[in-house]
Amino acid sequence: MRSVKSSVKGRKAAGTRLAVLIALQALGLGACSLQEPAQPRIDEEIAKQEKIYRSRGADVPGGYVTNRGLSDYAEVLSTGFCDALGRLGSSDRWLDIGAGEGQAILDYYAPGDNAAPGEKCGGSGPKARAVAISIEDRRRDKWKQQTARLGDDRIQYLSGKRLSQYSLEELGKFQVITDVYGGFTYTEDLSRFVDKVLRLLEVGGGFYTLATGVHLEDGKDKLGSLYLTELEDAFGRGVKVCSWLKKISCVQVTCESKSDSKTPIELIKIRKVCSETSVPRTKLVEFEAGYPPGRCFQLEQ
Ligand SMILES: C[S@@+](CC[C@H](N)C(=O)[O-])C[C@H]1O[C@@H](n2cnc3c(N)ncnc32)[C@H](O)[C@@H]1O
């Protein structure tokens, strides 16, 4: 049987990947099943990933996109995101995890005539306070100009740490949380990440994100699909990301499967319905640096 390293790298060789998957599925196994200890390799790949975060200027890889605007968010997030943003009042709060340059928040706050088409997403009513989080500081001058215009308490940009490294007191609570190719796509500790997001979310609030390169909830994966994030249970059986999310207590999870490209994408909305959320634990068993990285997680019993 092939190791998961081959399986993650398989996104570069779809044909091989498919053959491996079929072989593994025939054996009743998920794609993360390991033959050899992976930790030294994981550490090496995580170091490579750090270099991507630290890259600047011409060294930023072309595929590492950090400037998506609000219209892009409206396009890639699940139905209902723009309305949820539009319903927020001026004392409510929106957290954008993995905000890159913070362009979506700048568009949200763009004044009248300067508004990008996506400004309509979120309506023209009162604006919520918005917090952007990024590991690396990717702010441009326009962020500083907007902060000067609005005053510090309306928009905030936090960098230098991962989401998991902030205390709940530091960040406070939010009614809307977004993550577009941010921590949800990049984290090495998926369950800890989701647990933190849910703790930061007010009861009744919504987390909007997407999972790219995952096995689709509706099972309509196309032949030759490329997989980036894979989950398996303790017996090595493949588990879909949405099925895992639906095991979390105190939330309602909605997944919209998109199968119109080679990369299957799940648009995810998680509504918090009560405060005692509990996320089934995952353990990283393989990681390959990239944008996005390839990851395999095993569910702990
Ligand atoms: C590819 S960029 C996406 C930026 C933006 N959302 C966009 O679509 O243009 C990835 C962003 O996620 C951030 N990120 C990755 N893992 C994170 C984590 N665990 N906590 C906070 N930010 C994270 C990176 O620092 C970066 O800002």
The one-letter amino acid at 221: D
The residue with greater pLDDT, 249 or 40, is 249
Ligand 1 atom nearest residue 163's Cα = 20
Q: What does pLDDT average to over the chain? A: 88
Look up residue 44 and give its amino acid: E
Rounded-to-integer distance, Cα 211 and Cα 280, Å:
18
Report which residue type is found at 237: R
Report pTM. Answer: 0.90
Give the pairing of strands 251-258 and 93-97. unpaired
For residue range 127-154, what is the model confidence (pLDDT) as tens digits? 999 999 999 999 999 999 999 999 878 9
Binding-site residues, ligand 1, Cβ < 6 A: 53, 64-68, 97-100, 133-136, 162-163, 180-183, 186-187
The CA distance from 166 to 19, in Å, is 42
Of residues 149 and 26, the one with the higher pLDDT is 149
47 CA to centre of ligand 1 in angstroms? 16
Three-class secondary structure of residue 34 per DSSP: coil
Q: How far does the centroid of ligand 1 lie from the alpha carbon of residue 22, in Å?
A: 33
What is d(CA 174, CA 272) in angstroms, rounded to the nearest whole number? 11
Contacting residues for 268 by C-beta, under 8 A, at least 6 apart: 78, 207, 208, 209, 210, 211, 241, 242, 245, 253, 254, 255
Q: Using CB atoms within 10 Å of the CB of residue 246, give its burial: 0 to 12 exposed, 13 to 18 middle, 19+ buried.
A: middle
Q: Which of 48-62, 86-100, 115-129, 200-214 has the lowest mean pLDDT?
A: 115-129
Q: Which atom of ligand 1 is nearest to the CA of 180?
A: 6
27 pLDDT exceeds 60? no
Q: How far is the CA of 107 from the centre of ligand 1 (A)?
A: 18
Residue 35: pLDDT band by 50, 70, 90 thresholds? low
Give nearest CA residue, ligand 1 atom 13: 98
Residue 25 has pLDDT above 70, yes or no: no
Q: Are 270 and 204 in contact (CB under 8 A)?
A: no
Above 50 in pLDDT, residue 24? Answer: no
- Beta strand extents in the chain (DSSP E only): 93-97, 129-134, 155-159, 174-179, 201-212, 229-232, 238-239, 251-258, 265-272, 282-288, 294-299
| Cα 38 from Cα 275, distance rounded (Å) | 36
